[in-house]
Structure formats: structure tokens, C-alpha cells
């Protein structure tokens, strides 16, 4: 079980502008989509340029009515979530082709059935999953009345992180947050070799309309140790700029050195969120995109050469006042940005001419990923798509 956070680092500001100027997540997704139309219409980024992978892409449906796909190569298994009749999210496993769906639970853990449960990551061995588990106990708070929506996966409040055996035999609390509206967790990441774990932890509830409008989050990075039981050691905490802001991570680089995240710490605006990388050894931050709109959900490709992300750039507005998003790809240094999907382009073969928001992804290999496509502006409602990039 994790203890208190390690020493807090104030990362030096080391901004690098990407080659063509500069370049969305679950906790901020429901807030960012409140953005106005012009957020998706900035043209300072190029959608062209030669690269290893890019368009044209092929999109096919993987799971309708489910969200949050995570693929594990060791077991060739996919996990995902789906809301039940009571509105709480349940966990599921399936074969990589979507067949043989079965619910996932750990009966001995004592998780209540009418709470949100969500698998966010796999250990690369396939023997463990990392899950968001809504706290069982409701407690009195003088300034907030808890409701189930507070703990929707990715909103983050009243949520702990557990690690569980994938056979459902045992589970252990890994990150235990305060049982109040200030505490919680959002996105997490496991290093490709399974030795490190990172997560965005909420330390203050949503506040006002500035950089902490979606809450204040710090980035934590730790060693993941399996013996004698799974636990975290050497926890380090980073708060970019030393200010209360939205800091949501989505990936650890294959060399275990960098964390990819997006943030409002410089813009003070959750509708304008650049993507950055954080060097966990030096605490240096490198900006990879501009701040003209929202850029979110940065994931490293398995080979570590590129980052796939989502953005509202050049997305048409089908449902006022909501702005959707498409997936793009860039080199790890922020250069060579190019668009992968065109759900937000009217009459494009990939578009249904309605609101669609590209979300978090999970790679099957260097050319294919499973991605969430939200079809409603609020909450977690949508489908899982299979996206195949053109590489060569």
C-alpha cells in the first residue's frame, strides 16, 4: 500500500516549440467539451508532412456501448467498462477479437456492487490489473454532498487504486486517497517493463473557472514492487509550476524516463491545454504542442518513437456548443504532427456528421490501437473503435 508522497519537485520550465508551431482524458473530458466553437478551428498546426505512420487510417467498431479498452499482449486480452442498470461502471474482460466477454470482480476484496469499478491498466505480465475502485463508505462533509457522478471513472473523486490478480483471486489497495471531495485519482500508467507506476492524484476539488476548474492534480511516479505483495516504493510527486492545476498523465516512455501529460498550469485555462513531457530524473518539462485549443490523452507508441493524442483542432461543430476531437500523431520531440482520423470533418467517410470525441487509447502494436469514441458531450457514453494507421 502506498504511503505519503515523496518530496515535491518544482520542475524547471524548459519549453520547446514544435516544428510547425505546436499542437482530450476522462476527468477533464466532461469539462473541456464545454469549449466554444473557435477552440476547434485554429489553423496554426499542420496536418500534413511525411512520417512513419499517419493517414489514411481505417476505423472499425470493436465494442458498442463500452468504453475504456486496455489491451494486454501477454494474454491477448482486452479489458473495458460498461455502465450497468444502476448507472455504476462494471469491469469486463474479453478476447482480443471481442469474443468471450466475461465480468471481472474480486469477491474477497469487499467492493460494493453499486459503486464504480474500472480497469485502467494492465501489468505487462498479464497477471495483474490496476483498477479504480469507488470507496464503499459515504461520510459527512460540511461543504459537499457526495453523489455517484462524483466518482465516474476519470472524474476521480472518492476513488482509490487497487491492484488485482487477473484470475480474480486477490486484490490489494495500492493508492488510498482521502475520503472527501478533494481526494481522488484520474489516469494512470504502467511502464512497459512493469517496474514503474504513475498516476494523477487530485489534491483539491474543482474550483472556479481557472486552471483548477477541473480540480488540482499532482503527478506521482513510483516503483512498482511485487514482493512480498504488490506495493509502491520511492514515490515521487511533481506539481508543474508549483501551482494548482489540471495535470493528467497518460503514458510512460519505454525508457522509463519521461511521462506524457497535458496541463493547464501555464494557460490557467482548461479549454487550452498543451501536451508536455516530464523527465522524472531531472523534473524538466518540455512542451510539445501549442495552447490554441485542447490537446489531451498523449500515449507513446510501443516503439517509443511517436505519441498519439487527441485534439479539437480543425474539428467542425455539429452540436452547439460542444466541440469534438480527433486523433493525431507526432514524433516524441513534438515535430511532424499529422492527423489520423476525421470524425470531425463533415461528410468524411469516417464522420457521421454528429458530435464525436476521440478519447484515451491502448495500442495493440505500432500500427493499431483501440480507442474510445464518446458520442455524448457529458459522462462516459460511447463505443470502442479499432484504428489502424497507415505506416510505411
Burial 276-315 (b: 16+ CB within 10 A, else e): bbbbbeebebbbbbbbbbbbbbbbbbbeeebbbbbbbbbb
Domain boundaries, the chain: 8-391
Q: What is the pLDDT of residues 52-64, one digit of tens each?
A: 677 768 999 999 9
Provide the pLDDT confidence category of residue 207 given band limits of 50, 70 and 90: confident
Query: What CATH class is the domain 8-391?
Result: mainly beta
**Buried (b) or exposed (e) across 148-174, using 16+ Cβ within 10 A?**
eebbbbbbbbbbbbbbbebebeebeeb
Among residues 388, 387, 380, which one has the least CA distance to residue 89?
Answer: 380
Q: What is the pLDDT of residues 118-141, one digit of tens each?
A: 999 999 999 999 999 999 999 999
Percent above pLDDT 70 for the chain:
86
User: What integer pLDDT is reported at residue 50 of this predicted model?
Assistant: 40
- 339-358: average pLDDT: 96
- Is residue 75 over pLDDT 60? yes
Q: What is the mean pLDDT of residues 354-379?
A: 95
Task: From 260, 108, 243, 220, select the one nearest 169 (Cα to Cα).
Answer: 108
Say whether the peptide bond before residue 228 is cis (omega within 30 degrees of 0).
yes
Query: Mean of the pLDDT values across residues 230-244?
Result: 98
Average pLDDT of every residue of the chain: 88
Which phi and psi (to 5°) does residue 230 adopt? -60, 130
pLDDT in tens, 253-306: 999 999 999 999 999 999 999 999 999 999 999 999 999 999 999 999 999 999
Amino acid at each position: 500500500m502506498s504511503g505519503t508522497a515523496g518530496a515535491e519537485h518544482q520542475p524547471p520550465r524548459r519549453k520547446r516549440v514544435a516544428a510547425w508551431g505546436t499542437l482530450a482524458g476522462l476527468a477533464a473530458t466532461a469539462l473541456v467539451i464545454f469549449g466554444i466553437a473557435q477552440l476547434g478551428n485554429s489553423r496554426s498546426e499542420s496536418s500534413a508532412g511525411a512520417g512513419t505512420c499517419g493517414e489514411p487510417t481505417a476505423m472499425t467498431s470493436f465494442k458498442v456501448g463500452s468504453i475504456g479498452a486496455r489491451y494486454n499482449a501477454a494474454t491477448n486480452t482486452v479489458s473495458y467498462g460498461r455502465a450497468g442498470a444502476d448507472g455504476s461502471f462494471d469491469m469486463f474482460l474479453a478476447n482480443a477479437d471481442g469474443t468471450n466477454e466475461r465480468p471481472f470482480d474480486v469477491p474477497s476484496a469487499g467492493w460494493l456492487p453499486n459503486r464504480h469499478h474500472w480497469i485502467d491498466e494492465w501489468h505487462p505480465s498479464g497477471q495483474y490489473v490496476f483498477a479504480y475502485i469507488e470507496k464503499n463508505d459515504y461520510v459527512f462533509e460540511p461543504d459537499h454532498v457526495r453523489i455517484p457522478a462524483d466518482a465516474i471513472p476519470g472524474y476521480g473523486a472518492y476513488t482509490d487504486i487497487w491492484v488485482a490478480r487477473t484470475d480474480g483471486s486477490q486484490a490489494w489497495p495500492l493508492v488510498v486517497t482521502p475520503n472527501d471531495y478533494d481526494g481522488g485519482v484520474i489516469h494512470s500508467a504502467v511502464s512497459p517493463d512493469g517496474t514503474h507506476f504513475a498516476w494523477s492524484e487530485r489534491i483539491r476539488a474543482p474550483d472556479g473557472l481557472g486552471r483548477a476548474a477541473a480540480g488540482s492534480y499532482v503527478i506521482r511516479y513510483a516503483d512498482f514492487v511485487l514482493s512480498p505483495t504488490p506495493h509502491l516504493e520511492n514515490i515521487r510527486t511533481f506539481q508543474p509550476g508549483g501551482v494548482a492545476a489540471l495535470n493528467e498523465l497518460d503514458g510512460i516512455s519505454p525508457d522509463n524516463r519521461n511521462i506524457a501529460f497535458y496541463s493547464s498550469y501555464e494557460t490557467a485555462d482548461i479549454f487550452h491545454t498543451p501536451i508536455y513531457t516530464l523527465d522524472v530524473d531531472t523534473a524538466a518539462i518540455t512542451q510539445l504542442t501549442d495552447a490554441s485549443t485542447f490537446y489531451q490523452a498523449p500515449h507513446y507508441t510501443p516503439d517509443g518513437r511517436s505519441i498519439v493524442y487527441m485534439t479539437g483542432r480543425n474539428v467542425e461543430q455539429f452540436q452547439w456548443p460542444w466541440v469534438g476531437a480527433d486523433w493525431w500523431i507526432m514524433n516524441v520531440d513534438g515535430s511532424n504532427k499529422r492527423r489520423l482520423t476525421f470524425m470531425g470533418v463533415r461528410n468524411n467517410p469516417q464522420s457521421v456528421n454528429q458530435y464525436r470525441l476521440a478519447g484515451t487509447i491502448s495500442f495493440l502494436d505500432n500500427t493499431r490501437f483501440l480507442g474510445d469514441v464518446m458520442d455524448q458531450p457529458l459522462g462516459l457514453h460511447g463505443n470502442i473503435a479499432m484504428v489502424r494507421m497507415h505506416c510505411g
